[in-house]
Amino acid sequence: MELKNYFFKFLPKNRTQKLSEKDLLFRKKISDIVGYNIHNLEIFKEAFSLKSSTKSTNKKNYERLEFLGDSVLGTIISCHLFQTYPNENEGFLTQMKSKIVNRKNLNKLGEDLKLSSLLQVDTSQTILSENISGNLLEALIGAIYLDIDYEFCKKIVLDRILTPSTINKLENKIISYKGLLLEWSQKKKVPIRYETCEEFQPNKIVLFRCHVWLHNERISNAVEASKKKAEEKAAQRAFYVLSKKENIIENQKTIS
């Protein structure tokens, strides 16, 4: 509570000013998402403001609230998993948390809530980051925390954003085929290696081709726009090839 009171010193004091139609609509949309009538409109406007291209240091944007929301969300999920899985070890809890708060999952949640449509700028002329939806989701959680308190924020996250049923569905989901193959290869003591190189296309686009080798046999390959994506896609294809021969997943709960 002391931390919350510290943050409140920096929040606007005047909350009774007359709002424009745009602000009224924005407040309604936010309230519909979070399920309560928000108090501090300015903190939510900050959560949906992009970083200015000008050199002004006073222009607020979502990044600070994203930082705060990331920590708040991590605490909420950690506590929820600790209570939900009393018999599981630290490794399982860590893997489950990773599945829940990984960027791909947060992006999807933010996209489902259409958070980018709430940005306080005309996005038709703006190139948005591929992770903008997940970033805004974390900023929204940070804003909820400051607007009310931790316990209420926790309730909103688990009741409306990351419900227990949603979390349960992630239990057996594979989020990294590369990590899964590494775990399998270490357990079986078989060498798996990745060979990735750049490919220059005629239209000057640079792509990455990754080959996955098991012993001296090339078992899969894939091409993507980044080295990381190429290796993950190649690992996914290798997983399906090996799954036809061996039971790679012996215990679903150990998948990372």
Which position among 46, 66, 70, 232 bears the catalytic label?
70
Two tokens at 18? 């007359």
HSE-up of 125 (CA within 13 Å, CB side)? 4
Q: Which of 122, 24, 115 is nearest to 65 (CA)?
A: 115
Whether 250 sits among the annotated catalytic residues: the reply is no
Q: Residue 98: enclosing H or E segment and its boundaries?
A: helix 90-101
- Residue at token pair 């943050």: 7
End-to-end CA distance of the chain, in Å? Answer: 35
Which position among 46, 66, 138, 232 bears the catalytic label?
138
- In the chain, the amino acid numbered 67 is F
Residues 6+ apart with CB under 8 A from 174: 180, 239, 255
Please tell me the distance from the alpha carbon of residue 53 to that of residue 56, in angstroms, as a whole number. Answer: 8
**Contact of 65 with 46, CB cutoff 8 Å:** yes
Whether 138 sits among the annotated catalytic residues: the reply is yes
132: helix, strand or coil: helix
Catalytic residues: 70, 138
